[in-house]
């Protein structure tokens, strides 16, 4: 099963894709947001190309776990893409994913301009990898319960 991870911002969407086994996330690209129809068209093309089975979208919660204005924007985005994409969509708590992406890129020694261009992809990869790790943990847990 191939899963697409999205880091949805006001101006861009970072995109990551899993391997077919659902073990690892790979940064794919960052798309500039021009309008919802264009966003959906870009996502449809990626979904087709990578034969995606589901989406996981980062949900930027507040530190206390509540949903702020940015989270509401992401939920609105999900509502708009749900029908045209016809795929299961899950959300994943993405608190600190952008900061972690910035730290990772800084440690890699990339200059500010290059790292800014990759930040959304890395954040999407972190969101997706967190979700994949959760699924693996659930699978192991279920296996140990059934034994």
The 10s digit of each residue's pLDDT in 54-103 is 999 999 988 888 899 999 999 999 999 999 999 999 999 987 666 676 67
What is the structure's pLDDT at 19? 94
Q: Report the alpha-carbon distance of residue 32 to residue 11 in Å, rounded.
A: 6
What is the structure's pLDDT at 78? 98
Q: Which CATH number fits domain 3-142: 3.30.420.140, 3.10.620.30, 1.10.287.610, 3.40.50.150?
A: 3.30.420.140
Which residues 6+ apart lie within 8 Å of 64 measured at CB? none
Judging by DSSP bridges, how do beta strands 54-59 and 89-93 pair with one another? parallel
Kindly state the tokens that stand for 97: 């994913």
Q: Report the alpha-carbon distance of residue 141 to residue 135 in Å, rounded.
A: 10
pLDDT digits (tens, 9 = 90+) for 8-41: 999 999 999 999 888 999 999 999 999 999 999 9
120 versus 141: the higher-pLDDT residue is: 120
What is the structure's pLDDT at 98? 66
pLDDT surpassing 90 at residue 145 = no
Q: Is 65 helix (H, G, I), strand (E, B) or coil?
A: coil
Main-chain dihedrals φ then ψ at residue 32, nearest 5 degrees: -80, 135
- DSSP 8-state assignment for residue 47: H
Main-chain dihedrals φ then ψ at residue 27, nearest 5 degrees: -60, 135
**pLDDT grade for 137, boundaries at 50, 70 and 90:** confident
């Amino acid at each position: 099963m191939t899963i697409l991870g999205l880091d949805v911002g006001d101006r861009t969407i970072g995109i990551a894709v899993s391997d077919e086994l659902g073990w690892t996330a790979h940064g794919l690209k960052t798309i500039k947001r021009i309008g919802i129809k264009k966003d959906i068209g870009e996502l449809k093309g990626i979904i087709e190309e990578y034969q995606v089975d589901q989406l996981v979208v980062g949900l930027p919660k507040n530190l206390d776990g509540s949903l702020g204005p940015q989270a509401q924007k992401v939920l609105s985005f999900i509502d708009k893409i749900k029908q045209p994409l016809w795929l299961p969509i899950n959300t994943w708590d993405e608190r600190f994913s952008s900061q972690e992406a910035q730290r990772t890129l800084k440690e890699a020694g990339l200059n500010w301009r290059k790292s800014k261009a990759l930040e959304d992809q890395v954040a999407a990869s972190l969101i997706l990898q967190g979700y994949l790790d959760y699924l693996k943990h659930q699978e192991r847990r279920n296996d140990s319960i059934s034994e």
